[in-house]
Chains A and B, each alone.
Chain A
Amino acid sequence: MKYIYDLHNTMLNENLILVYEGEFTQEITKSVLAMAERNMDSMGEESSTKRKVFNVMVECLQNIVKHGEEHRNSDDPSKNNAIFMIGKREDEYLVISGNPIKDEHISSLKEKLEEINSLDKDGLKQLYKSIIKSGELSDKGGAGLGFVDMARKSGRKLLYDFHPMTDQYSFFSLTTVIARA
């Protein structure tokens, strides 16, 4: 049973105030958002910080939901599982997610994230406008608009990593930092 204590310590050491692991749906998204909101309210967090964290959480969670739906047919159900965490440090919040993705999607995803990270505030604004204006966007969003929005709300680079899982899948980790007001 030591893993319980280890997990507990990991959460404390990494300053994680919320962790959810499992399948992601809109209902789960709403529950996680409500929990995080209550948490920030009870800590008396500034409303501008709360709004930015909420915003980034929504895009992050809905990205996972959308991605999960695309892979619902895969033979291994654990491939739909993802992890979502919120870290809180003295001067910043971290919105963290991890989910399996097919290796064939890594290069386009990387390209999108690199493009976003190469842009300044105004560049991100222009990219945002050009994506919603163009027909590129499907009805469920997509075209990386969620990432653009996360980067805009964060004002920092998006941190990401791909870790090999199997011969076909890698684990995509993403961290968005939001400074506390």
Chain B
Amino acid sequence: MEIISLEGTEDTPKIMLDKENGIFEISGRSLPEDSAEFYQPILDWIAEYSKDPNPKTEFVFKLEYFNTASSKLILDVLSALEEIDNISVLWYYHEDDEDMEEAGEEFEELVEGIDFQFLTY
């Protein structure tokens, strides 16, 4: 499967989706002008991956900041992950960033069948 590897910018997150090496990560800042357009290739990739996933998938979110327009798309990403067996989300937040911790907990409440682990950095 192809690898998606995007460098982060001041308004878009770093993306790394690599099935072979088991790396799935969205990190940094997400406040793109058009969040739907930005996240579409990621949603497409996950849909393809979920047809034949690895035995175990650990999906890392390590976001410093995301805007409300991105929050809907992050929920779409999580909903797409619901389809995958043996999926866990590693939700990283800065140790003094309660808002990001709470955001992760809210996403956990909005999806089903995903094991969330909360980690600080």
Residues in B with CB closer than 8 Å to A59 are 67-68
B89 CB to nearest chain A CB (Å): 17
A58 CB to nearest chain B CB (Å): 5
Q: Which residue of A lies closest to B97 (CB)?
A: A51
User: Are A30 and B110 also in contact (CB < 8 A) when A62-B69, A132-B72, A153-B99 are?
Assistant: no
Residues in B with CB closer than 8 Å to A51 are 65, 97, 99
Residues in B with CB closer than 8 Å to A105 are none
Q: Which residue of A lies closest to B75 (CB)?
A: A132
Residues in A with CB closer than 8 Å to B69 are 62, 139-141, 145
A66 CB to nearest chain B CB (Å): 9
Question: What is the interface size of chain B, counting residues whose CB is below 8 A from a CB of the partner?
Answer: 23
Q: Which residue of B lies closest to A142 (CB)?
A: B69
A99 CB to nearest chain B CB (Å): 18
Q: What is the predominant secondary structure among interface residues of chain B facing chain A?
A: helix
User: Are A133 and B110 also in contact (CB < 8 A) when A140-B34, A140-B69, A141-B69 are?
Assistant: yes
CA distance A153 to B34 in the complex (A): 23
Query: Do the beta carbons of A132 and B99 come within 8 Å of each other?
Result: no
**Cβ of B115 under 8 Å from chain A:** no
Query: Do the beta carbons of A146 and B68 come within 8 Å of each other?
Result: yes
Partner pick for A48 among B31, B34, B96, B109, CB 8 A cutoff: B96
Query: Do the beta carbons of B67 and A139 come within 8 Å of each other?
Result: no
CA distance A68 to B27 in the complex (A): 30
**Cβ of A110 under 8 Å from chain B:** no
User: Which A residues from 43 to 77 make CB contacts under 8 A with B?
Assistant: 47-48, 51-52, 54-55, 58-59, 62, 65
Partner pick for B68 among A33, A52, A141, CB 8 A cutoff: A141
Residues in chain B within 8 A of chain A (CB atoms): 10-11, 31, 33-37, 65, 67-69, 71-72, 75, 94, 96-99, 106, 109-110
